[in-house]
Structure 1
């Protein structure tokens, strides 16, 4: 993907910040489906950024319109995106979450209509190569990197042979390929890599095949509210496995609430960090009443913040946002962290530059991807505990 800065749009920021009363931003996420327990918190992160800018007042009032993708139905994702773009006339979209939803809604709706999408959670490596005309961005890093991180974590713990179950979609396939490549390159062995479907009542056949390999450790790259949980649940019930690991799609309190001690010691990786921006985000989220119990909430704040600052630096319309988003996401400019959006708008209105770093230390490359940092977690007691930053 090629990124182009539109000089005319940038020039609009030289003297004053454009007013955007009546402008709508879409939030396109899986409010139902296999990650529904996470989505309210992720959407809440985006809304905190929008509320912050609305309270600051420099942009006028921004309205939010939500739409559901179900996470797993490309047709629903496309239909919901079409409603946001054509009926609601949103100027940009925060979302989607699941990679397949982002790819479908981007190709089918956003790209043809010149609408920026900034996903806080779509991590499939396939998104990097979209022919998007400079319209599709993300604040969550690609699973090309997360696969390497998870492989490194397991290798360091002396886990050398694993069975691998992944959700049979763009997210799961991309993550599984990245993990297997990195794990085998480090000397590990994947005894079986097999996809699973979401929404099934019985996963005994899938778990039996994984168990038959003789591997002692099961890697589950799925979703915590449906297929991934089902694989773990059957593994525990049958006694097939007792040692588990997974990725960001499995990270959330609902998995612990459902499976309890059965996943004690489970290892996870998910985007995140322990930098200044992450700490400021946690304070802001807590003050806003948002329960930080899952991934991508800070990334959603960042996704909305990038759109809002691009509206100010360019103009509050689709072309203006597309032309300015790379400039506010990257150096040069004054570094902006969570809670400083009003300050950023003042700088832009005065003709200055900002370098938005936010909760996830945003820095977008030419493909619209961030480099990304990760946290390693372990399930202890009744919660996910941070082991270390990666």
Structure 2
């Protein structure tokens, strides 16, 4: 299994993960959900409303089910703990920058009096409504935004994310491609803050390793024809091709295969790494040997969580999950919001935001805990909790970015599904 792990506060803990290299984990990265000891009941319970603006529609809709499931599962565990916070989840659709579902959904969620909105998954979509959300004194908390733009964004201290900046994913992917022996690289890039940002970090890493980027055509959200981009990249005859896209990859892949591009030259990213085989999606050929990166701990290390999540989701009347990208990050977002609300003794957005760094372990020298129930017991007993989540330690810095993160490396098999890269 390949995993690259870094702590922003320290040095790189390991080089690029390649064949035969074991995963490197930071202490306390993976705690199973559920369980925990009983809590000390507070005198009264806080009624916390959390909205979501996750992709039910749009070019990241395949990420909607695992993310939404993660939020609902976390809320169910918070409510079952009876530890001083009761969550009402109000689900909404972010859509994308083409269908603009957020234009009606964000005002609806704000009108419901939510303290926080979880979403969007797409960085470009989040940037369309962040000012509206934080301007209303409401927290925006994304489980999947990776654009570096958010690190310095003027968000009134109300924006947080459990996914790391693409400076790390770009470094990992660029080096992974270089380690494969490629000397030249072509890229097809979504023209938004996520796509162009990630592409620039991939390019920097690949060129620093001695490679050359020979083509990097872009396209816009809503485009349906990618022949020009495919032709430009194929004509450059690169040793490898990085597809920095969202769901549009389903249309791009058949054209690449028709042009004779072998799968082992292809590299995916979090925006398009999908279980195509399990989802019955025909991409025009075999992906066996293609590789990709996805922020977060390798999925095969959190199977207790994914199994429990799937059971919960199906029991709620939904179809079985086939994707788990950003499910853990979505779950952790809800747990952190509930803990911060409990620590603040308030459902006010600014008051919760003031406690989010503390409950993540970014300040306060808190006691480690890995479930809502265990952390709530610490808080209700007068202590400071330091939550280590399913997605990792998290540990926010003062701008709401996680300071410790892992990038999983995956490879496609003959059935067009991906597994951890061995």
Q: Is the 8 A contact 2:53 2:106 kept in 1?
A: yes
Residue in structure 2 matched with residue 375 of structure 1 by the alignment: 408
Q: Which moved more, 1:111-120 or 1:269-278?
A: 269-278
Q: Which runs of 5+ in 2 are unaligned?
A: 1-39, 314-319
Which 4+ stretches in 1 moved above 4 angstroms?
Answer: 274-277
Q: 1:287 offset after TM fit, Å?
A: 4.3
Q: 1:67 offset after TM fit, Å?
A: 1.6
Q: Is the 8 A contact 1:192 1:210 kept in 2?
A: yes
1:356 correspondence with 2:387: yes
SS at match of 1:366: coil
- Change in CA separation of 1:303 and 1:74 when aligned onto 2, cut-off 3 Å: farther
Separation in 2, partners of 1:106, 1:200: 24
Separation in 2, partners of 1:74, 1:309: 34
* TM-score, structure 2 normalization: 0.81
Q: 1:283 offset after TM fit, Å?
A: 4.8
Q: 1:113 offset after TM fit, Å?
A: 1.1
Q: 1:236 offset after TM fit, Å?
A: 1.2
User: CA offsets, 1:252-292, max 9 Å, x none?
Assistant: 21477322743221110001225998455335324424636
Q: 1:319 offset after TM fit, Å?
A: 2.5
Residue in structure 1 matched with residue 420 of structure 2 by the alignment: 386
Q: 1:146 offset after TM fit, Å?
A: 0.4
- Change in CA separation of 1:135 and 1:18 when aligned onto 2, cut-off 3 Å: farther
* Alpha-carbon RMSD: 2.3
Q: 1:78 offset after TM fit, Å?
A: 4.4
- Change in CA separation of 1:19 and 1:49 when aligned onto 2, cut-off 3 Å: same
**Count of residues in correspondence between the two structures:** 368
Q: Is the 8 A contact 2:287 2:414 kept in 1?
A: no
- Change in CA separation of 1:178 and 1:67 when aligned onto 2, cut-off 3 Å: same
Separation in 1, partners of 2:158, 2:388: 19
Q: Is the 8 A contact 1:167 1:228 kept in 2?
A: no
Residue in structure 2 matched with residue 153 of structure 1 by the alignment: 176
Q: 1:195 offset after TM fit, Å?
A: 0.9
- Change in CA separation of 1:349 and 1:114 when aligned onto 2, cut-off 3 Å: same
Residue in structure 1 matched with residue 46 of structure 2 by the alignment: 20
User: CA offsets, 1:68-110, max 9 Å, x none?
Assistant: 121234954244222211x111111111110012122112x11
Residue in structure 1 matched with residue 12 of structure 2 by the alignment: none
Q: Which moved more, 1:112-121 or 1:289-298?
A: 289-298
Structure holding more helix per residue: 1
Q: Which moved more, 1:162-171 or 1:364-373?
A: 364-373
1:327 correspondence with 2:358: yes
Separation in 1, partners of 2:162, 2:206: 25
1:93 correspondence with 2:117: yes
Q: Which runs of 5+ in 1 are unaligned?
A: 1-13
Residue in structure 1 matched with residue 293 of structure 2 by the alignment: 269
Separation in 1, partners of 2:43, 2:326: 29
Q: 1:166 offset after TM fit, Å?
A: 1.0
Residue in structure 1 matched with residue 139 of structure 2 by the alignment: 116
User: CA offsets, 1:102-135, max 9 Å, x none?
Assistant: 122112x112111111110010111111011211
1:231 to 224, 245, 252: 252
Aligned pairs for 1:1-390 within 5 A: 16=42, 19-21=45-47, 23-73=48-98, 75-85=100-110, 87-107=111-131, 109-223=132-246, 225=247, 227-240=248-261, 242=263, 243-254=265-276, 257-258=280-281, 259=283, 261-274=285-298, 278=302, 280-289=304-313, 291=321, 293-314=323-344, 315-330=346-361, 332-337=365-370, 340-361=371-392, 362-370=394-402, 371-382=404-415, 383-387=417-421
Separation in 2, partners of 1:229, 1:255: 12
Separation in 2, partners of 1:233, 1:167: 18
Separation in 1, partners of 2:180, 2:261: 21
Q: 1:240 offset after TM fit, Å?
A: 4.5
Q: Is the 8 A contact 2:306 2:324 kept in 1?
A: no
Separation in 2, partners of 1:305, 1:277: 20
Q: 1:198 offset after TM fit, Å?
A: 3.8
SS at match of 1:249: coil
Separation in 2, partners of 1:186, 1:308: 43
